[in-house]
Amino acid sequence: MHKSLIDQFSLPLLAWYDQHGRKDLPWQHPRSAYRVWVSEIMLQQTQVQTVIPYFERFMQSFPTVYELAAASEDRVMAHWSGLGYYSRARNLHRTAQIVASQYGGAFPDDLTALTQLPGIGPSTAAAIASQAFNHPTAILDGNVKRVLSRYFMIGGRLEKADVKNKLWQLAGDCMPKYRCADYTQAIMDLGATCCTSKNPACHRCPVQTTCLAFTHERVSEYPFKNQKKILPVRHRQFLLLCRDNHEIYLEKNPPSGLWSSLWCLPSLDIESPVQPFLHDHYGFDVLKTEKLTFIKHTFSHFHLHMEAHLVHTQAVTNKALKKPGGQWFDAVDATALALAKPIRDIINRYLERLTHCVES
């Protein structure tokens, strides 16, 4: 039964793509292995419309793999700031250095070599090979898993090895030997625009008549949905320390852990008093503390409720700080640093307050 379904999949999908597919994405013009790779890394866990402006800015600053390889990690992280999942940016930088130094600036075109590069898994490697080199290498990202699970009515948890192996096999069987780049984009587009996780537009689907889930009126049952986890909530105070010349104090996070290698505000437990904390850990004298803003941020495994306080301090030189690694920055200049989005939002709230004070 599967062979018949496989034979009726790629042709109508490609015909649909010719009429309705996304052909104006910035990494498609011009298309290169470097541009495809950067886009694929950015698109992991992130939607296309969010990625586009980041990709365009990234290409303006790092138009070639050599320029990315030569950049400092801080500069790369600053361009990634706001996209989240920051290990992607560190792996991107490491891979650029490997490709520049070991491959003469040219990405390998075989899956084995690609998957040996940092941050490139089997599906990302297949996407690069198919879209940049037109190789018949099937991808299996979230969109493709959903499409194939419904089309072939594959049940079970998607993360289970037997289900994943079955989907990989079907993905490879459906992959045509021609127009490989178009097919890869087509199946991603189908999952993103028609075969969506909620409210799928089956009436617009090019493979509706052969889709098993549709013909059996069971689309909503596929793919199997895991019970949504209830994430714990953590509460923490973040301190925006400022001094008279509107400089603010930031410290760089260690290379592992949350927001690793990013610039951050000092933080402490929600119940801890601010003044003793700053005196004992930093040597700051607090002149005044006031509430600045409240932010909710979600990580993959918990929610973080952030209470941000504006803390006016006496001017303390870097040499006088008890805790190394911190630095004073002009508040406006600080927004160009590698910051997690919630930290950037706190700094922007402070700048809005400064602007309001000047105008009034």
Residue 319 — very low, low, confident or very high, per pLDDT cuts 50/70/90?
very low
- Give domain status of residue 85, yes or no: yes
Asked whether residue 49 carries a pLDDT value surpassing 80, the answer given is yes
Q: Which helix (H) or strand (E) holds 304?
A: strand 303-313
Same-domain check for residues 204 and 268: no
Asked whether residue 207 carries a pLDDT value surpassing 50, the answer given is yes
Answer whether 15's CB lies under 8 Å from 206's CB: yes
Residue 44 — very low, low, confident or very high, per pLDDT cuts 50/70/90?
very high
pTM: predicted TM-score of the whole model, two decimal places: 0.88
Range of the domain at 248: 233-359
Burial class (CB in 10 A: 0-12, 13-18, 19+), 226: exposed
Give the domain-ending residue among 221, 242, 260: 221
- Give domain status of residue 227, yes or no: no
Report d(CA 335, CA 16) in Å as an integer: 44
Report d(CA 124, CA 176) in Å as an integer: 18
Same-domain check for residues 47 and 98: yes
Report d(CA 333, CA 225) in Å as an integer: 45
Cβ-Cβ contacts under 8 Å for 4 (sequence gap 6 or more): none
Asked whether residue 317 carries a pLDDT value surpassing 60, the answer given is no
Active-site annotation holds for 271: no
Place of tokens 């911190």: 326
Q: Would you say how long the chain is, in residues?
A: 360
The CATH number of residue 245's host domain is 3.90.79.10
Q: Are strands 303-313 and 233-242 parallel, antiparallel or unpaired?
A: parallel
Instruction: Tell me which of 40, 73, 251, 271 is the catalytic residue.
Output: 40
Give the domain-ending residue among 189, 221, 253: 221
Same-domain check for residues 133 and 248: no
Instruction: Please tell me the least confidently modeled range out of 58-67, 151-160, 182-191, 307-316.
Output: 307-316
